[in-house]
């Protein structure tokens, strides 16, 4: 596999991961989820993170989004090292700089779609910018569903609410952890196109964990992890090319050779 270049000075990173490691357990039971990962996540791009089960991709996303702490190394969001922040500063960073889309939607069932979308801002004591809110609602196509509760929406509509919630605070970067994992192919395609449009139309930065080569084909770049390490990357991916790399990674794993 080709060795990815961790830094590219021609583009500005929205987030930078430097020497990141994360271990769980101790002694013989220790598990190294991330192993000295260094990678830049560029502003205004749609990046996918892929790899076999257990490769560390969700751990990487949770550490980058300040939802988990690394064992060593650092994550910088917009030049700020999140490891140097106090709990209060971390809370503010998550609220103002980071959007997160969960696989399971994570909507509040008693709130309307509109209330779910604006909830993070309401908690912060802020009102959404009216013009931006209208743009987000137009982008996600929920104009006629804002008063509906989650149980009155399809899975795809619920995930669009979750995406709108992530976008409405105008974060520096949006992380999406398997955002189409609970959706059928049609609803999944709608959500992927929505994320793609948020990058193309609004310059949003999106980083998505996925196992789906079709989903990866919507992105600008795919970063591949294996055994907690970055082992390859491809730009302007297509489904077949991603499938080929994943098949090669599986062959390497089955052979027991884990060197990148």
The predicted-structure confidence for 6-26, as pLDDT tens digits, reads as follows 444 457 999 999 999 999 988
Q: What's the whole-number mean pLDDT along residues 134-163?
A: 91
Please indicate, yes or no, if residue 31 is contained in any of the structural domains.
no
Please indicate, yes or no, if residue 18 is contained in any of the structural domains.
no
Per-residue pLDDT band for 29 (boundaries 50, 70, 90) equals confident
Work out the number of other CB atoms within 10 angstroms of the CB of residue 94: 18
Please indicate whether residue 128 or residue 196 has the higher confidence score (pLDDT). Answer: 196
Burial of 127 (0-12, 13-18, 19+ CB in 10 A): exposed
What is the spatial distance between Cα 108 and Cα 98, in angstroms, rounded to a whole number? Answer: 19
The pLDDT tens digits of the residues spanning 104-121 come to 889 999 999 999 999 988
Q: Is 83 helix (H, G, I), strand (E, B) or coil?
A: helix
User: Quick check: 49 pLDDT over 60?
Assistant: yes
163: its two tokens: 């995406």
* Enclosing H/E stretch for 50: strand 46-50
Task: State the pLDDT at residue 53.
Answer: 86
Question: Which of 79-93, 229-243, 246-260 bottoms out in mean pLDDT, i.e. has the lowest?
Answer: 246-260
The pLDDT tens digits of the residues spanning 195-216 come to 999 999 889 999 999 999 999 9
Please indicate, yes or no, if residue 34 is contained in any of the structural domains.
no
Domain span at residue 103 reads 44-56+86-255
CATH number of the domain encompassing residue 99: 3.40.50.300
Task: State the pLDDT at residue 28.
Answer: 83
Please indicate, yes or no, if residue 63 is contained in any of the structural domains.
no
User: Per-residue DSSP letters for 111-131?
Assistant: S-HHHHHHHHHHHTT----HH
Q: ∠190-192-195 over CA atoms, to 5°?
A: 110
Please indicate, yes or no, if residue 126 is contained in any of the structural domains.
yes
Task: State the pLDDT at residue 257.
Answer: 56
Task: State the pLDDT at residue 76.
Answer: 95
Residue of 49, 51, 3 lying closest to 249 (CA atoms): 51
Please indicate, yes or no, if residue 73 is contained in any of the structural domains.
no
Contacts of 9 (CB under 8 A, 6+ apart): none
User: Quick check: 223 pLDDT over 50?
Assistant: yes
Count of structural domains within the chain:
1
Please indicate, yes or no, if residue 116 is contained in any of the structural domains.
yes
Per-residue pLDDT band for 3 (boundaries 50, 70, 90) equals very low
- Which range among 197-201, 216-220, 240-244 has the greatest average pLDDT? 216-220
Indicate the pTM of the whole model. 0.89
Please indicate, yes or no, if residue 38 is contained in any of the structural domains.
no
Per-residue pLDDT band for 4 (boundaries 50, 70, 90) equals very low
**Partners of 40 in the β-ladder:** 16
H helices present in the chain, as ranges: 57-64, 87-96, 113-123, 130-140, 155-167, 185-202, 213-216, 239-255
What is the spatial distance between Cα 246 and Cα 169, in angstroms, rounded to a whole number? Answer: 35
């Amino acid at each position: 596999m080709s060795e990815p270049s961790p830094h590219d000075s021609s583009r500005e990173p929205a987030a930078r991961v430097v020497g990141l490691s994360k271990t769980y357990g101790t002694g013989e039971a220790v598990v190294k989820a991330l192993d000295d990962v260094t990678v830049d996540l560029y502003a205004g791009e749609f990046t996918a993170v892929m790899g076999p089960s257990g490769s560390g991709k969700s751990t990487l996303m949770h550490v980058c989004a300040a939802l988990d702490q690394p064992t060593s190394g650092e994550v910088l969001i917009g030049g700020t090292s999140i490891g140097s922040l106090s709990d209060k500063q971390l809370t503010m960073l998550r609220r103002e700089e980071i959007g997160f889309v969960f696989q399971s939607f994570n909507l509040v069932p008693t709130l309307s779609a509109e209330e779910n979308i604006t909830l993070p801002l309401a908690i912060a004591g802020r009102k959404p910018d009216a013009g931006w809110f209208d743009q987000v609602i137009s982008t996600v196509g929920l104009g006629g569903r804002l008063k509906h509760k989650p149980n009155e929406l399809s899975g795809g509509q619920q995930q669009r609410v979750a995406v709108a919630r992530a976008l409405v605070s105008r974060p520096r970067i949006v992380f999406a952890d398997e955002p189409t994992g609970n959706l059928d192919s049609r609803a999944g395609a709608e959500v992927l196109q929505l994320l793609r449009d948020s990058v193309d139309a609004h310059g949003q930065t999106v980083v998505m964990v996925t196992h789906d080569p079709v989903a990866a084909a919507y992105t600008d770049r795919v970063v591949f992890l294996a055994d907690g390490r970055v082992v390859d990357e491809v730009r302007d991916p297509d489904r077949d090319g991603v499938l080929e790399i994943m098949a090669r990674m599986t062959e390497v794993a089955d052979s027991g050779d884990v060197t990148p």
